Structure 1
């Protein structure tokens, strides 16, 4: 790029906030990177925000969807960007889908109490769902790494919800969906992009996942030629179809490359300015423009699980 070779330096944050902080410090102070891609989750990205701002090195999270990643107390985090849409948009899309497409009026919400991501999606879901005439009949919480959710699900079942909103990550979600079905809770269950992993089907079983839906950033089943080209190339290299995290990671790299090219410089501050000025950039997960809060304005899609396969349901524009 601009006559210089791009070098990738990898650090493993082990999905822990403290490791994410240490990793960012190492990359900036020892490796002298001009930008950082990652972390994948909101919690671990939030652990790196101060370091990015203090050291004036841009950081882009491919999939950290919490609002607070880019804006804290009404102030934009100057050096922090993302490639994904934000939690309020996912929660709003899910609530509108529940009300307008599934025609439900009574919902239960089950969150991961330790996850900023889970709490953020739940808050926007509840706001939009109740504003649209829906009623939240049960609210329950679990903690990441829990494995037995039967007592919680039994309480939810006693409230007779027509729909369950479950904004969590696939490890726990898979077990929750499986146990919900075993308890006879056969209502539609919906979550966000945190469900998106081939492991979800392994954990939950394909039958349990019938009548479940997710909001997501992209679908390998989308007929768009740019997406199909990416899917084909990814399959040829890795022998599997790319999930949304793969697509977002790919887009994040090209979001950064485009900004470096336009900056015409390896100066992190100039790269940051260039990232902020991104407009109508065509990528795999959509064409996006960066708004004043460093979030991309782009569409979301809804996928339905049928016999263990994700099926493209509909696309929702911002």
Structure 2
């Protein structure tokens, strides 16, 4: 027969396991009855295939709240942190929980389009303010072309960085011709960047000699690269993640393609294929940017966590501060009022650049251009839209 102590032990164990599975934590004790509190939820991939980025995003969110002193306007901040594991179904579940059970007024997150899109639908449908961190797909703030009024983001959208890459190629590198090679099965990121690069490069006076595509699982690009080699373009635009871009770059050099490689923020990495040396890419942020906001952010993050912040953590930091600023300006816990304050934001001094919001809830801000040198990314310049 079980003894009472064993019953108690088992009950406590069940509670601990339940708490661990949800990945939930709160920044403060339950509020006093007379205390005005605003609840803010964090959603990010704290586990799973994007765990490293999710952990740094959580660090950035926590640091922004800490730096506010845990209070904004007349309201004390209570945070609830949940893990979406970079899974769309999990993201939908945790967003529903934050709104239905935790009664949050606002949400910061998530990291990828896969998870951010369902969160945006749920948040907007329930009239809860949401500021996305790093999801660049235009559909996050739009539903069939119609604005999701309660949804904003801190990162620029895919077409913007494709356009900036094309302008950099034309204006800074003085390129006259280009070829584009992209993954056509990636109907969001790759195709969006490829199309905007092509359109802007042509408008800038350049000539796109080839606009080639491949499939997600392709590993041999000989046919496409043979055609590009014959055309001898000044630029080869590769808007895929750095692993695939590196594979293509290696095969391109083997075929004596001497074009300058350019990519998007998917190239953000600490390791590069040697064939990518000298290539350029657009990114949200560079720790080497000389602006005071960047220097302070890098110092604060390094002091708190012992390492330099990455682009994704920077975007979560900006997203959190944009939200906190809107709460402060409105001095309200009403999501509708906070939403209006966010929409009215002009020239907010974010780490990734001064931010104003477009009518679609997207930030109007600059982008950093980086170069791969000696296997590392080096800051080159900042370009405005």
Per the shorter chain, which TM-score range?
0.7 to 0.9
Corresponding position of 2:307:
240
Corresponding position of 1:157:
229
Q: Return closer, same or farther for 1:177/1:275 CA change in 2, 3 Å cut-off.
A: same
Cα displacement (A) at 1:106 = 2.5
Alignment check: 8 A CA contact 2:84 2:115 kept: no
Cα displacement (A) at 1:182 = 4.3
Q: 2:190 aligns with which of 108, 118, 124?
A: 118
* In structure 2, distance between residues paired with 1:251 and 1:149: 40
Cα displacement (A) at 1:124 = 1.2
Please give the secondary structure, in 2, of the residue aligned with 1:9.
strand
The answer to whether the aligner puts 1:313 opposite 2:385 as a matched pair is no
Alignment check: 8 A CA contact 1:13 1:23 kept: no
Unmatched tracts of structure 1, length 5 or more:
none
Q: 1:273 aligns with which of 334, 340, 350?
A: 340
The answer to whether the aligner puts 1:53 opposite 2:120 as a matched pair is no
Corresponding position of 1:303:
370
Corresponding position of 1:81:
152
Cα displacement (A) at 1:18 = 3.6
* In structure 2, distance between residues paired with 1:159 and 1:27: 54
* In structure 2, distance between residues paired with 1:271 and 1:193: 30
Post-superposition Cα deviations, 1:61-118, rounded to whole Å, max 9, x if no partner, equal: 1222223322344421111101122222211111111122222232221223224122
Cα displacement (A) at 1:138 = 2.4
Cα displacement (A) at 1:167 = 1.5
Cα displacement (A) at 1:294 = 1.2
Corresponding position of 1:230:
297
* In structure 2, distance between residues paired with 1:157 and 1:47: 42
Q: Return closer, same or farther for 1:271/1:149 CA change in 2, 3 Å cut-off.
A: farther
Cα displacement (A) at 1:183 = 4.2
* In structure 1, distance between residues paired with 2:213 and 2:89: 24
Unmatched tracts of structure 2, length 5 or more:
1-70
Cα displacement (A) at 1:46 = 2.6
Cα displacement (A) at 1:317 = 2.0
TM-score by length of 2: 0.73
Alignment check: 8 A CA contact 1:45 1:69 kept: yes
Alignment check: 8 A CA contact 1:215 1:303 kept: yes
Q: Return closer, same or farther for 1:176/1:241 CA change in 2, 3 Å cut-off.
A: farther
More deviation in 270-279 or 74-83?
A: 270-279
Structure 1 vs Structure 2 CA RMSD: 2.3
* In structure 2, distance between residues paired with 1:246 and 1:79: 22
* Structural mapping, 1:178-189, within 5 Å: 178-189=250-261
Q: Return closer, same or farther for 1:71/1:103 CA change in 2, 3 Å cut-off.
A: same
Cα displacement (A) at 1:227 = 0.9
Corresponding position of 2:11:
none
* In structure 1, distance between residues paired with 2:94 and 2:231: 45
Q: Return closer, same or farther for 1:171/1:36 CA change in 2, 3 Å cut-off.
A: farther
Q: How many residues align?
A: 311
Alignment check: 8 A CA contact 1:38 1:62 kept: yes
Corresponding position of 1:139:
211
Corresponding position of 2:176:
105
Post-superposition Cα deviations, 1:36-75, rounded to whole Å, max 9, x if no partner, equal: 2222233432333321221111221122222332234442
More deviation in 173-182 or 123-132?
A: 173-182
More deviation in 112-121 or 55-64?
A: 112-121
